[in-house]
Each structure stands twice: as C-alpha cells, then as structure tokens.
Amino acid sequence: MNKFNYYQPTEILFGTGRIQELGELALRYGKKCLLVTTPAIPALESMFNKVKKILTGAGLDVAHFDQVQPNPTTETITAGAKMASDFGAEVVIGVGGGSSMDSAKAIAVEATHEGTAWDYLFYKEPQPSEKTLPIIAVSTTSGTGSQVTQVAVITNTAKRDKSAIYNSIVYPKVCVVDPELMLTVPKKVTAPTGFDAFCHSFESTLHPNASPYIDCLAYKAIELVVKNLPVLLNDLSDLEARSNMALADTFAGLCIANAGVTLPHGVGMAISGMYPQVAHGESLAIIYPSFTRFTYKHAITQFATVARIFDKSLNGASDEVAAEKSCELVDDFLRKIGLWMDLKQFGMPENEIADLAKQSMVLPDYEGNPRVATPDEMLTLIEESFDRK
C-alpha cells in the first residue's frame, strides 16, 4: 500500500437544527464577530436574521458584511477586511455557499496581514500566519466543501484570474452543516453545486494523493450525489435528499482537503476567472464530457467504479468496458440534472479559445490528472467544449 497522509482539524456539527449552536461556538473565540454573507435577497433574509438573532442572543456583538458576490473578488475581500479591522472582529463567520465561506477565510487573512489577500496565494511568500482570525463556516449550499477545506478561492477581476489561498491556517475551526438552511437553494444553484461535490470526489480518487480514506469518502459521496441530486431537483423541499447532498458535499470537501482536484478544476478556475458569469459547478460541467474521454484509459479502475455506481448492470462487465461506458453515463447524468452546456452559451468569444487553454494550465491542478495534457491537447479540450450543440 502507498504511504498517505490524512488531516482534518475542522470540528463538524452536522444535522438539522444545529445552527442554534452557532452562538456558543462563536463565543469560544471572542465576543465580536464579523458575519460574512451575500446580500440579503428575499430567499436569504430570514436566514440571516435568524443567524444574527442566535449570535446576539448568545451575547455577541455582530457586524454584518453582506457584499459577497458569486466568485468573490479581491475588491470585496478588501472591503470586508476593512470592516473587520474597523469593528475589531475577533472571529469571522462565513454563512453561505463557497463564495461566502471563502470570503470569510480571505477576510480573516487580509484583516490581520500586510497587503491584500491576493498577496497570500498558495505560491507566494510569506504565507498567512497564526495572526489570521479564527474562522467559522456555515454552509448553505452543497457544494464546495469549503466548510472543511484549507482553500479560499478569490478572483482578481483586473487580471481576469481566479486563484486560491491554500494554507492550513484557513481551515475553519468549526463548521455547521445544517440541511434546513439549504431548503431555499434554487434549482439553478442546486444542480451545479451538487455536481461540484461529484467532481471533488471523483477527481480526488484520480489524484496522486488518493488513499484508502479518500476512496471510502469519495465513492460514498458519488453514490449519494448520483442517487439524491436528481430526486432533489424534482422536489427542492425534500429534506432527506438535502441532508444526503450535504453529507456528500462534506465528504467531498474532506477529499479535496487531503487529495486534490485535477484537470477539470484547472480549466474550471480559468473559465470562471475569465468569465465570472459562469458558476463554478457550470464551469466543471462544461469540461467534463471532454475530460472523461481524454482520461478514462489512464485510470481504468476509478472510471469503472464510477460507471458501476451509475449502472449496476456493469458489475458483470470488464473494467475496460465499464470505464469506457462511464463517459456516456456522465453525459447522461449532466443532461438529467440540466447541466449539458458549453462555453458558447455563456457568450465566450471564439477568438479567446487559445487564451483560455493557456490559462487552464496556470494552476497545477491539470498536472495531477492521470493523463497530463500537453498545450495542444488542452487546446483541443477547450475547442471541444466551446460548442457542444
């Protein structure tokens, strides 16, 4: 057996109603907290009010930074960090999807360090230090797994670049995964976030840091997504399906924190960096049909295992047959959950295909793929993803 590491410092509070415990959790770290969310659109207003009531009811002083947007930008982080400093925040609480939780992490860094959060990306020196404010994450999408990861994804609009802080210091100290908070997530967010959890799990099994821990978590998460996401899309109020997706999301987050993502995420980050109108999960859906066909022969066991999760009748087929079939099965799943998409439909100009291919090889994610794409192969993958008809 190969050597492996597994590390997870975030305390996980999972289950309906657990949001009620947020006040006592926050008090562990101080009395002044910065709450970080997207704006209070009608679907979210009562949740935010409930959270504020729980926090103030426990005796906390709350400042609410409610300016996060999907694919959060460096400008947003700077505004949030200023509010945290002016207020003297002792703990930062991100309530929302990956965008809000990642903003909370990046704000916790920028509020306590010289320069901006962008100066502390994974490849830069110095890295964020122990001065970083403690972070609490409350996930309201299922999703990104950010509630249990050491990653904060941010976008630099001026550079058209999406990158990440990747450091153990931004692991949330504690996270609350309360499926009741997810009942208001609309279909257009439920589908791509659910597919993101599938991708985190699958890509982790393909990553060089995969381990027996990853296999246990990832294949269970894939099973949960395949079974529950279509059910949930038919009835967004199904709490059991929401709970199962929240569990899949958390398992998948543990996978990326300990193994990692591969080629699709490198491409997906490039897509949303250049075209912020594309949600993260959508960017993955765009590249997946080409990625599966490009990769399956180089990871027969993993692709065959996923194929058999989709279709039990493949239990009797050879691994090679099942692995090849997985490409079609993933396509079918994307169609079923309404995510059969391409770059053209998001208004990407055709003359930027080469730029996007180049940008897709900036992050090291593509190098962890079982088949490493050459620049020409990456160009072909992007060309295929431009117009799927």
Contact mark string toward ligand NAD, 22..41, x via CB under 6 A: ----------------x---
Q: What CA–CA distance (Å, rounded) separates 210 from 283? A: 23
Instruction: State yes or no: residue 184 binds ligand NAD (CB under 6 A).
Output: yes
CA angle 121, 123, 127 (to 5 degrees): 60
103 binds ligand NAD (CB under 6 A): no
Shortest Å distance, C-beta 214 to ligand NAD: 15
Distance CA 285, CA 243 (A): 23
Site track 236-275 with ligand NAD (rule: CB under 6 A), x = hit: ----------------------------------------
Task: State the amino acid at position 104 in one-letter form.
Answer: A
Between helix 300-310 and helix 319-336 the angle, nearest 10°, is 50
Q: How far apart are the first and last CA of the chain?
A: 44
Q: How far apart are CB 43 and ligand NAD at their closest, in Å?
A: 4
Closest approach, Cβ 311 to ligand NAD, in A, equals: 27
Contact 225/198 with Cβ under 8 angstroms? yes
User: With binding defined as CB under 6 A, does residue 287 bind ligand NAD?
Assistant: no
94 binds ligand NAD (CB under 6 A): no
Told to check if 151 binds ligand NAD by CB under 6 A, we report yes
DSSP H or E stretch at residue 285? helix 280-295
Give residue for tokens 């117009």: 387
Q: How deeply is 376 buried, as exposed, middle or buried, from its count of CB atoms within 10 A (0-12, 13-18, 19+)?
A: exposed
Q: C-alpha angle 352/356/360, rounded to 5°?
A: 175
Mark the segment that binds ligand NAD (CB under 6 A) among 18-26, 27-35, 182-190, 343-351: 182-190
How many residues make up the chain in this entry? 389
Contact pick of 25, 181, 341, 356 for ligand NAD (by CB under 6 A): 181
Is 96 a binder of ligand NAD (CB under 6 A)?
A: yes
Q: Rounded distance, CA 6 to CA 10, Å? A: 13
Among 94, 128, 134, 143, which residue sits at the site for ligand NAD (rule: CB under 6 A)? 143
DSSP state for residue 370 in the 8-state scheme? S
For residue 293, what are the contacts with CB-CB under 8 A and spacing of at least 6?
Answer: 327
Helix (H) or strand (E) holding 107: helix 98-110
Any contact of residue 12 with ligand NAD (CB under 6 A)? no
Residue 182 or 304: the one with the smaller Cβ distance to ligand NAD is 182
> Least separation, in Å, of the C-beta of 158 and ligand NAD?
17
Of residues 94, 145, 273, 368, which one binds ligand NAD by CB under 6 A?
Answer: 145
Answer yes or no whether residue 144 interacts with ligand NAD by CB under 6 A: yes
Q: Which residues bind ligand NAD (CB under 6 A)?
A: 38, 43-44, 70-71, 96-100, 102, 140-141, 143-146, 149, 151-153, 181-182, 184-185, 189, 193, 196, 280-281
